[in-house]
């Protein structure tokens, strides 16, 4: 299937760098992607490949080839952790997208599922880009429907490991409601959410006195975008490496989806930290 895009340089872009002009036909792309497309010879100006710094002229035609070589599951570090007749759990490393993002030229777990399973399968959950751990897959349409029913009934149990800043002792349940509408950052509200399925249970596992951090295990049943990250930060213990809710670290985001269980299915993946 062709993924070629054609674009005519307007008068307003005369004399500008090619990597800057490419933002018009590729509005969702970042500068790094635009430069990579040029360096790989996938951008042609007046039928000749050009580098990122090439100065374009008004009226020139730019042809962009968005096709890329398929990345395999093994190259991404994705593998099957558990499989039954209806469901499977796969491992997603941190730094890999769960699903394809429209307008971006990045590999994803969803894109390599055909390497791992026959037939039409459905990715049932998502993890943030930097979060590692389990993604669940329905192996048939009936299983996808059943998963939704189990989630609505509160019969899913999802366990996450997180390394948080500071010393946290014992058990805690964070009940605050969350505002996730049209926000990059989820806002924690003052009032509690009446739905217990939206709460975050927190259990202390160990302390690291040298780094002044605590390893905790979190339990959620339904979950919302950034729920664990926002809830932990709201009680004064942001996750190590979380630049959005705390501060950036050198080792990446220390959040891992360790275990999922529901009637008829259990899967667990070892943590990278």
Catalytic residue list? 128
How far apart are the C-alpha atoms of 212 and 271, rounded to whole Å? 20
DSSP H or E segment with residue 207 = strand 200-208
Phi, psi of 236 (to 5 degrees): 85, 15
- Picking from 151, 147, 101, the residue whose alpha carbon sits closest to that of residue 123 is 147
CA 156 remoteness from chain centre: 20
**Residue 229: helix, strand or coil by DSSP?**
helix
- Picking from 175, 170, 269, the residue whose alpha carbon sits closest to that of residue 214 is 170
Evaluated on CA atoms 257, 261, 264, 270, the torsion sign reads positive
**Residue 100: helix, strand or coil by DSSP?**
coil
How far apart are the C-alpha atoms of 41 and 223, rounded to whole Å? 43
Contact status, residue 56 vs residue 21, Cβ threshold 8 Å: yes
- Picking from 233, 129, 225, the residue whose alpha carbon sits closest to that of residue 181 is 225
The residue behind tokens 């998502």 is 126
- Picking from 113, 132, 147, the residue whose alpha carbon sits closest to that of residue 251 is 132
Q: What share of the chain is helix, strand, coil (3-state, %, to 5)?
A: 20, 35, 50
């Amino acid at each position: 299937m062709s993924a070629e895009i054609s674009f005519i340089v307007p008068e307003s872009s005369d004399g500008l760098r090619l990597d800057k002009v490419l933002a018009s036909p590729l509005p969702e792309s970042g500068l790094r992607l635009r430069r990579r497309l040029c360096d790989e010879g996938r951008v042609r100006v007046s039928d000749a490949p050009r580098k990122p710094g090439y100065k374009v002229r008004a009226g020139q035609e730019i042809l962009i080839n968005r096709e890329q070589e398929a990345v395999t599951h093994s190259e991404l570090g994705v593998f099957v952790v558990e499989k039954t007749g209806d469901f499977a759990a796969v491992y997603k490393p941190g730094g890999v997208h769960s699903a394809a993002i429209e307008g971006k030229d990045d590999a994803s777990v969803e894109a390599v599922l055909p390497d791992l399973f026959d037939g039409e399968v459905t990715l049932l959950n998502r993890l943030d880009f930097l979060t590692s751990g389990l993604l669940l897959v329905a192996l048939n349409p009936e299983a996808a429907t059943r998963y939704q029913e189990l989630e609505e009934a509160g019969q899913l149990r999802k366990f996450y490991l997180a390394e948080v800043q500071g010393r946290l002792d014992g058990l805690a349940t964070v009940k605050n409601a969350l505002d996730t509408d049209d926000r990059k950052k989820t806002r924690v509200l003052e009032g509690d959410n009446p739905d217990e399925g939206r709460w975050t249970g927190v259990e202390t596992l160990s302390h690291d006195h040298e780094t002044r951090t605590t390893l905790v295990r979190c339990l959620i049943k339904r979950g919302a975008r950034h729920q664990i990250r926002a809830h932990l930060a709201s009680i004064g213990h942001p996750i190590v490496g979380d630049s959005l809710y705390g501060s950036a670290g050198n080792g990446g985001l220390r959040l891992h989806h360790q275990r999922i269980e529901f009637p008829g299915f259990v899967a667990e993946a070892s943590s990278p930290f």
